[in-house]
């Protein structure tokens, strides 16, 4: 991801949330099967510190002043569970549900189809990243408000490991890691930019690895924003213990956060 720069914006939450209002729709993708996780109920519904994993993302976006609506993309047969989770959390932000597709790109397109009209920005987030914080969400939106040349912002972290280019198991090169960042979510975009990128990808049969790849392909600029604290993806069962440790550390307690 060449050309990514970290953004320093200490007053981002105030910039994003106070004078501009709730002009962002959050699309939380929670339709994955979680095959690598190995739990038949789906990792987005497993318990994390006393709440379903999905609940933590809902709490973070519900607390973001810039977010005026949340769309949860889930399997048709899990709609009741999502409704139940949202009801128990007593969220302030209105929520809509969209049907998950066969692949992630179809799921996001489904979310875009049901979101309310008139929103300036769209923040797409994977429910498998339950550690996202409201501060990071607001900073990701704020950079778009500040820099009108940007089409999107990408929560991501600098790569710290040495990278190797490998062919058939053999190392052929060691690239300069200073050019590489690991993409996370949320990925936030100007609404029209994202809609146009999805329309172009659909027309040409292009499938990207994330939403930013579609926007980059359409020629828009995407800036990297580092998260305030760990925002890793829950992929394997052992990741739950790590996520619980982070949540308890944030709360300053060893007790379950219920």
pTM score: 0.88
Task: Flag whether 6 is in a domain.
Answer: no
Task: Flag whether 101 is in a domain.
Answer: yes
What does the pLDDT look like over 89-110, one tens digit per residue?
999 999 999 999 999 999 999 9
Task: Flag whether 252 is in a domain.
Answer: no
Q: What is the pLDDT of residue 39?
A: 57
Q: What is the pLDDT of residue 21?
A: 85
Query: What percent of the chain clears pLDDT 90, i.e. is strictly above it?
Result: 82
Query: What percent of the chain clears pLDDT 70, i.e. is strictly above it?
Result: 86
Domain boundaries, position 158: 12-246
Task: Flag whether 254 is in a domain.
Answer: no
- Whether pLDDT at 73 is above 60: yes
Give the integer Cα–Cα distance in Å for 4 and 153. 10
What does the pLDDT look like over 128-186, one tens digit per residue?
999 999 999 999 999 999 999 999 999 999 999 999 999 999 999 999 999 999 999 99
Q: What is the pLDDT of residue 36?
A: 52
Q: Do the beta carbons of residue 183 and residue 46 sit within 8 Å?
A: no
Q: Do the beta carbons of residue 64 and residue 137 sit within 8 Å?
A: yes
What does the pLDDT look like over 20-64, one tens digit per residue?
789 999 999 998 655 455 455 668 899 999 999 999 999 999 999
Number of domains in the chain: 1
Q: Do the beta carbons of residue 14 and residue 221 sit within 8 Å?
A: no
Q: Do the beta carbons of residue 68 and residue 93 sit within 8 Å?
A: yes
CATH number at residue 31: 3.90.550.10
pLDDT: which is higher, 191 or 252: 191
Task: Flag whether 162 is in a domain.
Answer: yes
């Amino acid at each position: 991801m060449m050309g990514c720069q970290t953004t320093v914006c200490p007053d981002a939450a105030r910039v994003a949330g106070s004078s501009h209002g709730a002009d962002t729709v959050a699309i939380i993708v929670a339709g994955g099967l979680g095959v690598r996780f190995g739990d038949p109920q789906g990792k987005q519904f497993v318990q994390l510190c006393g709440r379903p994993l999905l609940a933590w993302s809902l709490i973070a976006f519900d607390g973001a002043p810039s977010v005026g609506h949340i769309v949860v993309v889930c399997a048709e047969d899990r709609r009741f569970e999502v409704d139940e989770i949202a009801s128990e959390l007593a969220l302030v932000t209105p929520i809509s549900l969209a049907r998950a597709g066969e692949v992630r790109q179809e799921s996001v397109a489904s979310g875009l189809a049901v979101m309310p009209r008139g929103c300036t920005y769209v923040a797409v987030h994977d429910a498998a990243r339950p550690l996202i914080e409201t501060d990071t969400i607001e900073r990701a939106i704020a950079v778009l408000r500040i820099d009108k040349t940007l089409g999107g912002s990408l929560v991501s972290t600098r790569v710290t490991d040495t990278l190797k280019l490998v062919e058939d198991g053999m190392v052929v090169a060691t690239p300069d890691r200073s050019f590489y960042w690991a993409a996370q979510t949320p990925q936030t975009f100007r609404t029209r930019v994202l809609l146009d990128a999805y329309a172009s990808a659909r027309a040409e049969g292009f499938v990207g690895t994330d939403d930013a790849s579609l926007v980059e392909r359409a020629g828009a600029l995407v800036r990297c924003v580092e998260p305030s604290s760990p925002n890793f993806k829950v992929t394997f069962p052992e990741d739950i213990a790590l996520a619980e440790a982070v949540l308890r550390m944030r709360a300053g307690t060893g007790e379950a956060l219920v």
